[in-house]
Chain A
Amino acid sequence: MAGTVIGEGLSIDGELTSDEEVVVHGTLRGTVTAGDVVSVGTEGTVEADINAASLSVAGRVTGNVTASERVDIQAGGRLIGDVKAARLTIADGASFKGNVDMDA
């Protein structure tokens, strides 16, 4: 029950801020600011700039991402946008379009 779970049927339009883990199986548009992990499930769609400790993408993300720790794009995951993170992994079978800044 811990954290925030955006279920498959849920759609949020707006700003989301959180200090706990945010799991997205549904749809989120706007901005996301999270102090912990943001993970986008295979059915999840995020159209938002994301600022988080780390991001894991198995679904679709469109937006610029800033992570203080890492960004992982899983197989089947799709990220369109610029990534600013110390670590970035793009799995075999993932797709990514954007610029990467790993200077952080």
Chain B
Amino acid sequence: MPKPRLTLRQKDARIAWLLVAPSLVIIIGVTLWPIISTFILSFLNAPTGLNQARTFIGLQNYLQMLRDRAFWETIWRTLYFTAVSVSLELVLGLAIAQLIHSRPWGWKFLRFSLIIPWAVPTIVNGAMWRWIYSADFGALNGILMQLGLIDHYVPWLTLPDAAMNLVILADLWHTVPFVALILQSALATLPEELNEAGAVDGASAFQRFWYIRLPLLRPAILVALIVRTVEAFRVFDIVYIITSGGPASRTITISYLTYLNTFSYGNQGTGAALSFLISIVTITLAMIYIRFLYRPEDSQ
């Protein structure tokens, strides 16, 4: 039987598949397969080790986690970190973006200097703030003492109620510039005519900002919100460096808990279940943002 001749379209498709095959193999190997294997792992009792038997335990890892008080405390703590840091980033980022956009004296220097905190690696940023907060040698105590606001050095990182807020402050220093730069770039692309038309019609500066510029900024805000919320919910490195989860676990976040379970305690099944939970929460948060903020007409 003669071999059926391939149409030109089929031949092109075959070549196309062949060309993308290496990339596809790599994507499946480094992205898809780890996700699938982690998902499988989350249903196993999987102690770390070379000779450890892995047993199927169904939803036990998830159920055990959901029943654990410490887990829920960690979730709320992480949500607190995310909500406070992202909302402050947005407000401060928008204020700074607006300031740069109004072209005050030295605005170019301001825009350039914004990049510095953002360009500093998180680990370096964490180490720096750890020293700033240091009870005996820290700059924070030094400044507050000189201003006369405190009369003796305060061990900031030992205060259970303050520690997380101090981590948030350190994180803000690092991430506000990112949000400010995104929003400033978006502001620069807005048509100035609308603003001028608003001014001619008698709208105040605040009204022009609130009713004209802010709605037009929505797509940029959406991008900043999604990126920062996902990153904030997964926060790990800055906590690890500044507080190591202390005092009394008051700064342990969900990613930190996952890390501890997976690598320090050798509970890979629990770690995998926690990883999936983080993914579910971050995807849900991103979908909520898209549902409420995304308007198809914005992208037209």
Do A and B bind? no
* Interface, chain B (partner A; CB < 8 A): none
